[in-house]
Structure 1
Amino acid sequence: METLRPFVEKEILENLAKQVPELDVTSVETCLAFLHTTAEVYTALNTHFARYGLSMGKFTLLMQLFHAPEQGLTPSECAERAKVTRATITGLLDGLERDDYIRRQPSLTDRRMLTIHLTEKGRLLLENMLPDHFCRTTKLMANLSYAEKLMLIELLAKVSAGAPAMS
């Protein structure tokens, strides 16, 4: 699926600001640059995960299970950690189970509950994938100094805090 890349020329924004006084040109330019970069990073991540037959959602779940306690995680815990619905998790788990990366088993403490566990095949996939994944992540951020990386984390937290304004 191709992502539409947001872009508006500054001249268009300045003309629009004459008609709409609430329009702050720099805020819109910043937002559009952020959206453009986000789209590029998502496209690159999707390409990267596809090399391993995964999606970002499946990778996120596998990483949760890679670091899960021995008793595993419930689907609800996975959903809560990933900040998605239980239905979304169920679909991802179905695909991961089909590929033999995870297994569902009855909970030892409550037979009405299921726990999710990483299979050996899932563990091997991550062990083989993670060096490449973290090397690519490092290269993604290579143009930023250490101080700039810390600053970006702070700035993104501020943008995140403003997100409810768009709701």
Structure 2
Amino acid sequence: MDKIEKALTENQEALHSLVIFRRASNTITKQELETIRKHNLTVCQFGVMETLYNKGNLRIQDLIDKLLSTSGNMTVVIKNMIRDGYIFKVPDSKDRRSYLIGLTPLGRERIEKILPEHYNNIGKIFSALTQEELILLAELLKKFKKED
């Protein structure tokens, strides 16, 4: 048995699980994006608006960390969202080197219109599982989280 066959045999179930996980993830993502795209937003724009709505004003770095984005991408997204009137940027009074980003009234109105539909869509997507299965799924997936 060569190295490849041996590695394949020893890791068969893990590889099979990865394929199933990726297929499920792709299906979930496609279904989730339907609502976001219907409202003419990118995933990152939606993420910024939802995060600011739920967390309040944040520093740019905090948004980057929460949305797992890059600073270059986030800079462009923020610039475009300011241009479109959805968010504002002001100096952070606690740290003059940083800026706080927040929702404008237009941005708040826009995200409040989208969130019920988005949340209901997520509920529909995950309705394939029972409440107990959802709890178990969350517990299992948390095992992959790396400790900092």
TM-score, with length taken from structure 1: 0.75
2:116 paired residue among 125, 131, 145: 131
Partner Cα separation in structure 1 for residue 145 and residue 115 of structure 2: 31
| Residue matched to 1:67 | 54
Q: Which structure has greater helix proportion?
A: 2
Aligned residues between the structures:
144
Q: Given that residues 105 and 115 in structure 1 are in contact (C-alpha distance below 8 angstroms), is that contact kept between their aligned partners in structure 2?
A: yes
Which of residues 16, 30, 33 is equivalent to 2:17? 30
The answer as to whether partners of 1:45 and 1:56 remain within 8 angstroms in 2 is: no
Contact 2:35 2:117 (8 Å CA) reproduced: no
The corresponding residue for 2:130 is 145
Letter in 2 for 1:93: I
CA distance in 1, matches of 2:62, 2:30: 28
- Structure 1 pair 64–19 and aligned structure 2 pair: CA distance change class (3 A): closer
Larger Rg: 1
Percent identity over paired residues: 24
- 2:67 paired with 1:82: yes
User: Would you say the 8 A contact 1:102–1:119 is kept in 2?
Assistant: yes
Cα distance in 1 for residues equivalent to 2:145 and 2:40: 34
Post-superposition offset of 1:161: 4.3
Instruction: Give the TM-score of the pair, scaled to structure 2.
Output: 0.84
SS at match of 1:53: coil
Matches within 5 A, 1:1-167: 20-23=5-8, 24-69=11-56, 72-158=57-143, 160-161=144-145
Q: Deviations over 1:111-161 (max 9, x none)?
A: 443221101111011111111111111111112111100111112123x24
Q: Secondary structure at the match of 1:27?
A: helix
Gaps of 5+ in 2: none
Range with greater deviation from structure 2 (103-112 or 119-128): 103-112
Distance 1:112 1:26 in 2: 50
SS of residue paired to 2:7: coil
Instruction: Write the distance in 1 (CA, Å) between the matches of 2:141 and 2:94.
Output: 41
